[in-house]
Structure 1
Amino acid sequence: MRHGEFRHPRLVEVYDAECPWSRDDDWFLAVVGETPGVRVIDLGCGTGRLTLALAEAGHTVTGVDPAGASLDAARAKPGAERVTWVEGTSAVLPDRSSDVAVLTSHVAQFLVDDDEWARTLADLARALVPGGRLAFDSRDPADRRWERWNPVDSRRRITLPGGEVVRAWTEVHTVAGGRVDFTHHYLFGDGEELLSSATLRFRTEEELRGSLRSAGFAVDRIHGGWGGEPVGRGDGEFLVLAHRG
């Protein structure tokens, strides 16, 4: 299944257990919180981990995601009534409706085709007010993160809320043209194995800057790590902060 951890109810539970709150959430929450009480788009909100925290912090939040199973999980969480949940893509965003937009957990990399990425940025520019801010993360291809996605180094055990242990591992199939194709394997205690395949796009800093410029954004800064390190000296990330011109 493509993107199974977002679309299959059983894998959605695994995703939630494997991806608790961490320093990337702290970073995005702080970025949005630079201006209190803003209108926020969380595009690719998934199961709502950060979305709900943004709403709890006093922002007016819209969580948008194409995966209905992920949104079902988000809507079932405490505080979900504070958020406007929308099933869809950036195309559904109304004009000039938000002050800040975020794409977290490397959502930007799931927008593999350049045309799709350009349309998404154009939609975000349309949905933001003039001067509205955009923040997102994308892995630095120079870090070659995919080399650690193999059945040995990626092997892990995930404990679900009910106590069931799921064994998981990842294998990469192809790396070409900035695209990495891979499959996550999930083996449940009852013997069922579910697969989730995906392709991620690893764009260079130059490619990201060029695409943002074409969409009408001005880049404010790009960090290389969650502690504000420069590119190449942090966590193998591009943490992009930009604003609509």
Structure 2
Amino acid sequence: MSWVREFDFAVMTGHAFQVLLGDDEPRAALAAVRAALTDGGQFGFETRDPLARAWESWTTETPVEVAAGAAASTRMTRQVRSVDGEIVVFTSTFDVPKESAPRHGDSTLRFLGADRLGMFLAEAGPAVDERYGDWAGGPPGEGSPEIITVARRTPA
């Protein structure tokens, strides 16, 4: 009896793929996903397209308001500290209503292009079924904000 559960469909959301900073991390993650999928099972995930250069708008002059239901909204700003190839290091600042001081969080993200993503997928085994450039199903390519990938496990 196997205690490993297999899935017909798995997703990774919230740009979580971007926290896989070294080459070993996406390889291990995709190998684990492939192992967890049934033959023909699909894996969907998104990452920001580096060609859109989203980090260039992450400044203290471009705040994002995050609504909190009936409570007052929280104001978030991001300040890029460094860009080194695919790696972007930044600080997020959250101004939370009714708190005496802002909260700060440091983050590092990897902006992999479609070719590099394809390379990691080809190594791990899930074959790309579909790829989109935004959440409306638009085509990927220069200027699209996302690389949304749906990959399928092919039979061994």
Pick the TM interval, shorter chain.
0.7 to 0.9
Partner of 1:118: 27
Residue 18 of structure 2 corresponds to 109
Shift of 1:232: 2.1
**Partner Cα separation in structure 1 for residue 126 and residue 66 of structure 2:** 39
CA offsets 1:156-177 (integer angstroms, 9 cap, x no match): 3334345244332110111112
Once the 2 structures are TM-superposed, how far is the Cα of residue 229 of structure 1 from its aligned partner?
Answer: 1.7
Shift of 1:107: 1.0
Q: Which amino acid aligns with 1:182?
A: F
Gaps of 5+ in 2: none
Q: TM-score normalized by structure 2?
A: 0.88
The match for 1:181 is 89
How far apart are residue 96 of structure 1 and its match? 5.0
* Corresponding residue number in structure 1 for 2:105: 196
Shift of 1:105: 1.6
TM-superposed CA distance for 1:227, in Å, is 2.2
Taking the aligned partners of 1:212 and 1:140, their CA distance within structure 2 comes to 16
Q: Which of the two has greater helix per residue?
A: 1
Aligned to 1:214, the other structure's residue is in SS state helix
The correspondence for 2:48, drawn from 112, 118, 139, is 139
User: In the alignment, which residue of structure 2 is the partner of 1:163?
Assistant: 71
Aligned structure 1 segments of 4 or more residues deviating by more than 4 angstroms: none
SS where residue 61 of structure 2 aligns? coil
Q: Which has the higher contact order (CA 8 A, sep 6+)?
A: 2
Aligned-CA RMSD value: 1.7
Structure 1-normalised TM-score? 0.58
SS of 1:230's partner is coil
Larger mean Cα displacement after TM superposition, 189-198 or 132-141: 189-198
CA distance in 2, matches of 1:231, 1:159: 30
Once residues 36 and 53 of structure 2 are traced to their aligned partners in structure 1, the CA distance between those partners, rounded to angstroms, is 33
Aligned equivalent of 2:116: 207
| CA distance 1:197–1:218, change in 2 (3 Å) | same
Structure 1 96/163 Cα, relative in aligned 2: closer, same or farther at 3 Å? Answer: closer
What is the deviation of 1:120? 0.6
1:151 to 55, 60, 84: 60
Q: What whole-Å deviation, never above 9, does each CA across 1:109-145 have from its counterpart, x for those lacking one?
A: 1111110111011111111111110111111111001
Query: Helix, strand or coil: the match of 1:191?
Result: coil
- Supply the AA of the counterpart residue of 2:112: R
SS at match of 1:242: strand
Aligned-residue offset at 1:234: 6.7
Residues 1:111 and 1:191: Cα distance change in structure 2 (over 3 Å): same
* Residues 66 and 75, structure 2, Cα contact 8 Å, conserved in 1: yes
Q: Which runs of 5+ in 1 are unaligned?
A: 1-93
CA 166–119 in structure 1, closer or farther in 2 if over 3 Å, else same: same
The C-alpha deviation readout for 1:178-206, integer Å capped at 9, x for no partner, is: 01111110122332221111111100111
* 1: CA distance, partners of 2:136 / 2:74: 32
Residue 208 of structure 1 aligns to a residue whose secondary structure is helix
Conserved? CA contact 2:52–2:142, under 8 Å:
no
Shift of 1:233: 6.2
Higher strand share: 2
